[in-house]
Amino acid sequence: MEYTFVMIRPGAFRRNRVDYILNRIDDIGLKVEYYDFKFLTPEFIYEHYANLLDGSLPLDIFERTKIENLSGMVIGMIVSGDDSILKMRELIGPNNVKRAQEEFPYSIRALGDPNNNPDNLIHASDSLESAEIEIKRFFNRDLIDIINSIDIEEEPLVLKKEVV
C-alpha cells in the first residue's frame, strides 16, 4: 500500500469538476483515505511551490500559480493504493495545460484553461518523499499519525450538488 498527497485546486470548483476528479481517482482503483477543505495562505504557497522560485522558470508562472491557489478553496487528500503516486501522476497529466490537451487528452489537467496555464485543477506528489512532506505541510500532522487515526468505517468523500 502506498500513500500520496493530492490537492484539488480552486479551478476545479469553478468548473464543477470536483466530483469528476474524485470519480476518476476511484476509477483507477485508488481510495481517498483522508481529506480536508481549506483556503491556502500565501505562506503555504511560497513553501509548497518553492521549486518555481529556483530560477528555472519565469517568475510570472509562480505569480499566476499563487493567484490561482489563493482564489478559492482547495481539498487536500491522502490517497492510497498500489502504485498510487505513479497512477495519480499518469491520471493528472503534465503541468502544462496545452501539452496535456494535445498529448494526454484524457488527463485531468487537460480540462484546464489553456490560456491560464496554472489553472490545472489538481496537484499530486511526484515521489514518496514529496508525499510525506506535502502531507505534513497541508495537514500539520505526520502521515503515520493520520493513518493511525482513520476510522475505516467512515463514509468516502462524496460531494453532491443540491438541486433547488
Q: Do 131 and 4 touch, CB atoms closer than 8 A? A: yes
Q: What is the pLDDT of residue 47?
A: 92
120 three-state secondary structure: coil
Q: Where are the domains of the chain?
A: 2-149
Is pLDDT above 60 for 159?
A: no
Q: What is the pLDDT of residue 15?
A: 86
Q: What is the pLDDT of residue 163?
A: 37
The architecture in CATH of the region 2-149 reads 2-Layer Sandwich (3.30)
- Which candidate in 13, 123, 125, 143 is catalytic? 123
Q: Do 8 and 74 touch, CB atoms closer than 8 A? A: yes
Tell me the per-residue pLDDT of 7-66, one tens digit each, with 9 for 90 and over: 999 989 998 999 999 999 999 999 999 999 999 999 999 999 887 777 776 777 788 888
Q: Is 48 a catalytic residue?
A: no
Q: What is the pLDDT of residue 120?
A: 73
Q: Return the closest-CA partner of residue 75 out of 116, 125, 22.
A: 22
Tell me the per-residue pLDDT of 91-126, one tens digit each, with 9 for 90 and over: 999 888 888 889 999 999 888 766 665 567 899 999
